[in-house]
Structure 1
Amino acid sequence: MLSIIDKYILKRYLVTFTVMLLLFIPIGIMANLAEQIGKMIDNEAPLNEILWYYLDFTIYIGSLLFPIFLFLSVIFFTSKLANNTEIVAILSSGISFNRFLRPYFIGATIIAILMFFMTMFIVPQASVGFNEFKYKYLKKGKKDRVTTNIFNQLNETDFIYVSSFDPARKKGNNFTYERFTDKNKLDFKISAGNIRWVDKDSTYRLTSYRKRKIVGDSAIIESKRRLDTLFAFKIDDLTPVSYVAETKNLYELDKFIENQKRKGASNINAYILVKYKRWALPLAAFILTIIAVAVSSIKRRGGMGINLAFGILIAFIYIFFDKVFGTLAEQSGFSPLLAVIIPNVIFGILAFYLLQNAKR
């Protein structure tokens, strides 16, 4: 059963967080619009697509800033409680500091659950529209995927390669398809000058087609100027977009990662990092809440301004650590799990230290 004080603090927690979102997200939209409006006009982006983009933008960017908004919200309203000597009155009534933290943990739990469902199911869908619009109108002409020297392992026996791939035309150059037997001997090899997906016929069109089939100690050669055929892979499997992991929900992402591991994808760490970051985000709600309460529950001479300045500094340091270890995991083979764990452990230790100091 929640006491009057619990309800009072929990209400302030949730209301301040909501107001923070409602205030800063429109500012973010206007800043983005002011920056990108020229590109939208130059590339003739339709109004309906712009409106959908900003709906997706709100969900996508809002989810990224959830921890920061949460952190600053707790500092803001807790500092007001401290400046009004409400915290002194609460603790003087015989309530322990640990008991005082109870509504904060309840609020953090509510936000953590919201974060979990947002990042696992809602944000991936918004990420599709957000990124597609960005590369279609705002970064027109820039690559959203690797397009040269693409190698893919479809399964244990089948391998494909193209020297270059044009996603707009769904066309790859210098295509090779190799199948090996269980004894790692070449079964057949298909090569073509290019491969193109034909939407109208739902087939692959190979030009300068050549197939070399191994039979015993000899080879059977088949060649054609053009061949329409079917393959078990999708044309986009040649090279998925760089943001593909962001567009997968909880269940799709696990299957996608397993599929990419089987194929031997070179950028598998980037996909695993996305998965671990999603699971770690709700934990960040508790760590940042503890740090924010510990920093702002003490009445200081500089008032709320000092608390907010210190809080913003910690927020930037948190983002810095997250980015550094994330980059290490994506580009240097550093463990994605450690890349997510280390920043949270560091700030977890900081939270414990600040909390013990605040209790004293």
Structure 2
Amino acid sequence: MKILDKYLLKTFLITFATVFVILFFIFILQTIWLFIAELAGKDLDFGLIIKFLLFSMPRIIPLVLPLSILLASIMTFGNLAENYEFAAMKSSGISLQRAMRSLTLFILLLSIVAFFFANNVIPFAEYKFINFRKNIAQLKPAMAITEGQFSDVGYYNIKVNKKSGENGNKLTGITIHKKSMNGDGSKTVIKAKNGELISSETSSVLQMILNDGNYYEDITPKKFSDRNKVPFAKSSFKKYTINIDLSQLNDVDVDKEKIANTNTMLTVNELNYTLDSLHKNFKTEVASYSENINLRTVIENKTYNDVANKELVKKRKTLPPDILSLYDNKKKSEILRTASSNLSSIGYSIDGSKINLQAKQKNINNHLLAFYDKFVIAFACIMMFFIGAPLGAIIRKGGLGLPIIFAVLIFISFHFMNTFGKRFAQENGISPFLGAWMSSFILTPLAILLTYRATNDIGLINMDIILAPLQKTLQKITQKFTTNKKQ
């Protein structure tokens, strides 16, 4: 390796490592902010919080890595151009392509590593992360209840004045509002002086044992006139046990992630196998439903057919345009009622099956997007380098000023197009392939254009194209103004 290659590689690696660490730290803070509700006030020790963050870190890499390459490329080549090092290279006969050769090899190697990271490490971390969030309540049952405020736990809103004990399982000053199954608010209140939380890692049930308390329940009379009296029942207890299903903890968040993110837990080979099964299942269900609908639309009541056949034999002529004329009014009414009922039933069946098939198609699209994403991140690393390196050579600015502005604008555009394409593909608006690669397809021409202009020493924008017409217009206005003034 020549001295020039070592110098460029060393300069780029130092800048890249610095930028990567800074951006990674920023995105980690964003992750903490997103999940602050699950971490704050849950009596989690430092080890569990670190474990939580470690499992969430790999998912940040697809965002941080391309942005780091883009910014490091702009800063490195911008510094070289700003300090006239490129001018010295070109005077020695070294072109931009030659200067980029060693870094191009490094970026290609980095993109391969990014692919294997996305294919192996991220799925494993995603699996651990989601299961950790699901089971954290069993590891720390007291996390379900926050001291001094009401906590929503399954069918209960629970407030405790103080928690104590090694794991915070000793409770004092307990107030519980039990949610109504009818969705009309809370009609049951339980108060107890103290209590205890008991759970097991092998059980999905959290037991809350209450001591010395009262049970209040509002009663809704059947007669509307008696409701103004607002009757209620009260009972006291020495010991009362409430069983809480731990699967209800973070029910919406965790369950949704299970459905939406199972595809992110799979490698390329596993996705191929899963997609094959999903496609076969989808086609089988469509064929089965089509056959079922076809059978349901056929008139199966042989009585009507027999009557029609007898009339045909008797009259020896073809069916009239109005087939109902073969029957009397009673039969007509019965046939119309049956047809209307069948149409309504088939309509409901079609609507239900449509929703079901759309959900299955969305699941297939999500798996396809996860499959393509593993290749997109590798290509994004290469593309961002071929955008950043020539852009830095053109703008001739290093440091953290102008390069950050360009990098942020380009990356926001990339991320927006990537998100938009995926959302559109999930709803079957476009193919998952196009949705996953949309941002790459749009920005690749920019990379080619910048590389071409930087190689041929052409500026980012030819200002003469913009300024020349303006200059001519100003000259004409000035000439007219001067002529009118002389007259």
Quote the offset at 1:3 in angstroms.
1.6
- Match among 345, 354, 359 for residue 450 of structure 2: 354
Task: Return the TM-score normalized by structure 2.
Answer: 0.50
Q: Is the Cα–Cα contact under 8 Å of residues 59 and 122 in structure 2 kept in the other structure?
A: yes
**Partner of residue 21, structure 2:** 22
Q: Is the Cα–Cα contact under 8 Å of residues 291 and 350 in structure 1 kept in the other structure?
A: yes
Name the structure with the higher helix share: 2
Name the CA shift for 1:281/1:50 in 2 (closer, same or farther; >3 Å). Answer: same
- More displaced stretch, 260-269 vs 106-115: 260-269
Q: Is the Cα–Cα contact under 8 Å of residues 63 and 123 in structure 1 kept in the other structure?
A: no
- Match among 272, 278, 283 for residue 379 of structure 2: 283
1:163-221, CA deviations, whole angstroms, 9 ceiling, x for partnerless residues?
Answer: xxxxxxxxxxxxxxxxxxxxxxxxxxxxxxxxxxxx99xxxxxxxxxxxxxxxxxxxxx
Q: Is the Cα–Cα contact under 8 Å of residues 112 and 282 in structure 1 kept in the other structure?
A: yes
1:59-99, CA deviations, whole angstroms, 9 ceiling, x for partnerless residues?
Answer: 22123321111111111222222222112211221012221
- CA distance in 1 between counterparts of 2:98 and 2:54 reads 40
> Is 1:263 aligned to 2:281, yes or no?
yes
Q: Is the Cα–Cα contact under 8 Å of residues 257 and 271 in structure 1 kept in the other structure?
A: yes
- More displaced stretch, 317-326 vs 4-13: 4-13
Quote the offset at 1:111 in angstroms.
1.4
SS in structure 2 opposite 1:262? helix
> Is 1:314 aligned to 2:410, yes or no?
yes
Alignment of 1:25-64 (within 5 A): 25-33=24-32, 36-45=35-44, 47-64=46-63
**Partner of residue 313, structure 2:** none
Q: Is the Cα–Cα contact under 8 Å of residues 392 and 398 in structure 2 kept in the other structure?
A: no
Name the CA shift for 1:283/1:319 in 2 (closer, same or farther; >3 Å). Answer: same
Alignment of 1:147-162 (within 5 A): none
**Partner of residue 263, structure 2:** 245
Quote the offset at 1:248 in angstroms.
0.9
Q: Is the Cα–Cα contact under 8 Å of residues 81 and 397 in structure 2 kept in the other structure?
A: no
Quote the offset at 1:280 in angstroms.
2.0
> Is 1:324 aligned to 2:323, yes or no?
no
- CA distance in 2 between counterparts of 1:130 and 1:14 reads 31
SS in structure 2 opposite 1:95? coil
Task: Return the TM-score normalized by structure 1.
Answer: 0.66
- CA distance in 2 between counterparts of 1:135 and 1:90 reads 58
Alignment of 1:63-142 (within 5 A): 63-134=62-133
Name the CA shift for 1:299/1:92 in 2 (closer, same or farther; >3 Å). Answer: farther
Q: Is the Cα–Cα contact under 8 Å of residues 269 and 333 in structure 1 kept in the other structure?
A: no
Quote the offset at 1:345 in angstroms.
2.0
Match of 2:435, as an amino acid?
Answer: A
Name the CA shift for 1:43/1:241 in 2 (closer, same or farther; >3 Å). Answer: farther
Q: What is the root-mean-square deviation of aligned Cα atoms in Å? A: 2.9
- CA distance in 2 between counterparts of 1:91 and 1:78 reads 14
Quote the offset at 1:256 in angstroms.
1.8
Match of 1:57, as an amino acid?
Answer: S
- More displaced stretch, 43-52 vs 60-69: 43-52
1:116-166, CA deviations, whole angstroms, 9 ceiling, x for partnerless residues?
Answer: 11101111111122334456779x989xxxxxxxxxxxxxxxxxxxxxxxx
Quote the offset at 1:27 in angstroms.
3.5
Quote the offset at 1:349 in angstroms.
0.6
> Is 1:272 aligned to 2:368, yes or no?
yes
Quote the offset at 1:34 in angstroms.
5.3
SS in structure 1 opposite 2:102? helix
Match of 2:427, as an amino acid?
Answer: Q
SS in structure 1 opposite 2:40? helix
- More displaced stretch, 41-50 vs 280-289: 41-50
SS in structure 2 opposite 1:121? helix
Identity %: 25
Name the CA shift for 1:331/1:136 in 2 (closer, same or farther; >3 Å). Answer: farther
Match of 2:421, as an amino acid?
Answer: F
SS in structure 2 opposite 1:297? helix
Match of 2:277, as an amino acid?
Answer: N
Quote the offset at 1:288 in angstroms.
0.9
- CA distance in 1 between counterparts of 2:99 and 2:14 reads 18
Quote the offset at 1:323 in angstroms.
0.9
Quote the offset at 1:19 in angstroms.
2.2
Name the CA shift for 1:303/1:280 in 2 (closer, same or farther; >3 Å). Answer: closer
Match of 2:260, as an amino acid?
Answer: S
- CA distance in 2 between counterparts of 1:135 and 1:12 reads 44
Alignment of 1:165-176 (within 5 A): none
- CA distance in 1 between counterparts of 2:258 and 2:34 reads 28
- CA distance in 1 between counterparts of 2:48 and 2:277 reads 32
- CA distance in 2 between counterparts of 1:303 and 1:127 reads 36
- CA distance in 1 between counterparts of 2:76 and 2:398 reads 16
1:286-327, CA deviations, whole angstroms, 9 ceiling, x for partnerless residues?
Answer: 111011011111354797622331221111111111111111
Match of 1:72, as an amino acid?
Answer: L
- CA distance in 2 between counterparts of 1:84 and 1:75 reads 14
Q: Is the Cα–Cα contact under 8 Å of residues 56 and 125 in structure 2 kept in the other structure?
A: yes
Name the CA shift for 1:332/1:308 in 2 (closer, same or farther; >3 Å). Answer: same
